Amino acid sequence: MVITSVDNAKVQEVAKLADKKYRKLSQSYVIEGERLVRDAIFHGAQVQSIFVAESAKGKLDFADATIVSDRVFAKMSTTVNSQGVLAVAKIPQNELSAPNGNCLILDNLQDPGNIGTLIRTAVACGFTDIYAVNCADVYSPKVVRSAMSAHFCLRLHQTDDIAKVFEVASKNTILACDMGGKNIFDCKFTGNVALVLGNEGNGLSSYSRQKSHDTISLPMANSFESLNVAVAGSVIMYQIYANTK
């Protein structure tokens, strides 16, 4: 049976997940694209349902997938050039607890592309936990696409309680990234690190500045003042990874 009505209850539920408030209410989010859906299944994400566009059903083989017309799939999709498959998964309910290794603290980041890139790099560098404090929703479609399956490979914590995050991460060396800090390439690390990255426009919050154990930075040639937070954070995470593995 092919669902052909955009008013179908299942279709409406998926479409509503484009809204942050509804994702929070339902504790569910959308994963779109063949690779991401297959990775979600492989890594054991709590996939609740899978939908395949009618025009793609001959190319995509997913057990128990619901087939929908292309017009209906377009109603559910948030991408311009869709591959014709999406899944709905439960948002993991990770308790706000101590990290299992190196971790990342995102302090009021708002750009989905930056957040997704940092999640992806954190996985590549073996970080175990990310604490998103007053950030854009880490389960928004843009963040999920940017992270390229990294959501399934570490623990993500969303909260507005930065004091609690610093408390649970306090056994790690908490390093804030800011201009004027110690040159990251001169630093050696013993034990696990918690790297704090601040807002794209305003930098670190006053709390992060005051409570971090130390401040580090990237050296800049030609009197250059700053890098995009995702670029800077990625370079620093690789340096931490190289010096703590």
State pLDDT tens for residues 130-156.
999 999 999 999 999 999 999 999 999
Same domain, 173 and 232: yes
Total domains in the fold of the chain:
2
Percent of the chain with pLDDT over 70: 100
Determine, yes or no, domain membership for 229. Answer: yes
Same domain, 129 and 85: no
Same domain, 149 and 193: yes
Same domain, 72 and 127: no
Determine, yes or no, domain membership for 76. Answer: yes
Domain finish residue from 33, 56, 90: 90
Determine, yes or no, domain membership for 97. Answer: no
Determine, yes or no, domain membership for 217. Answer: yes
Across residues 154-165, what is the average pLDDT? 98
State pLDDT tens for residues 171-228.
999 999 998 899 999 998 889 999 999 999 999 999 999 999 999 999 988 777 778 9
Cβ-contact 60, 85 below 8 angstroms: yes
Q: 133-148 burial by CB neighbour count: b if 16+ within 10 A, else e?
A: bbbbbbbbbbbbbbbb
What is the average pLDDT value for the chain, to the nearest integer?
Answer: 95
Segments forming the whole domain that contains residue 10 = 2-90
Determine, yes or no, domain membership for 53. Answer: yes
Determine, yes or no, domain membership for 95. Answer: no
Domain finish residue from 64, 90, 116: 90
CATH of the domain at 37: 3.30.1330.30
| 107: nearest Cα among 184, 30, 169 | 169
Same domain, 148 and 202: yes
pLDDT, position 222: 77
Same domain, 124 and 214: yes
pTM, rounded to two decimals = 0.95
Same domain, 116 and 82: no
Domain finish residue from 90, 111, 137: 90
Determine, yes or no, domain membership for 200. Answer: yes
pLDDT, position 245: 56
Strand 47-53 to strand 85-90: parallel, antiparallel, or no bridges (unpaired)?
A: antiparallel
Coil, strand, or helix at residue 123?
helix
Determine, yes or no, domain membership for 96. Answer: no
CATH of the domain at 131: 3.40.1280.10
pLDDT, position 190: 85
